[in-house]
Amino acid sequence: MPKGDQPKNFDVMTAPDVAELLGVSEKTVRNWMNKNGLPFQEAGRGRLLNWHEALKWYVNYRIAESGNDGNGVSNKDAETEIKPRETLEQAIQRKTIAEADRLELKLAQERGYVVAVSDVEKSVAAVATALKQAILGMPSKLITRLYGVRDKNAIRAILDAEARDLCVKLATIGQKSAPAPTAGAVDEL
């Protein structure tokens, strides 16, 4: 469970909670409560549902609904926007599009246009670690060079040279940590 999320109380749920669990809109759940007999209890601040009762009602509702020549839409539920089942032609078209997208992604990966999120995370972490080490090491590196220097221009020149040197080092660190495309990663698709 992600941090900060509280476990759900399935005995006391709101319409949005039930809608999320059933994968429908909140409006659909409210229509079911008002017009189709989805069980709920009136509470001071609104209506509350018991998930177990709602799920049992939903299963029975869908079973009753499937007795309408298999089209997936009953006359009494036209307002709940239930989509008809996918045809074979639509499924083939969806599969063809998905395969084309997969091949485009594979080609983009081979050309180096796409990298895995984990590779980017590793690269950024390596640069951040190197940056931290370089910045924290600057005072001890510069103390001997700056000791006794009184001229502001000389101090500025030393600090400027060190900052530029640090930038050059960080640029090479970023290049070294950048992920290289691998043939194995392409085959995982």
Residue 6's identity, in one-letter code, is Q
Domain boundaries, the chain: 15-80, 86-114, 117-180
pLDDT 10s per residue in the chain (189 long)?
455 555 566 777 888 888 888 888 999 988 998 888 888 888 877 888 888 888 888 888 888 887 654 454 555 544 555 667 888 888 899 999 999 999 998 898 888 888 888 888 888 888 888 888 888 888 888 888 888 889 999 999 999 998 898 888 877 775 665 555 454 444 444
Architecture of domain 15-80: Orthogonal Bundle (1.10)
- First and final CA of the chain: distance in angstroms? 28
Contacts of 157-164 with CB under 8 Å at 24 or more apart are 162/138
Task: Tell which residue, 170, 67, 161, 93, has the closest CA to residue 124.
Answer: 170
> Any idea what DSSP says for residue 49?
B
Q: What residues does 47 pair with on adjacent strands?
A: 42
Token duo for residue 164: 């530029």
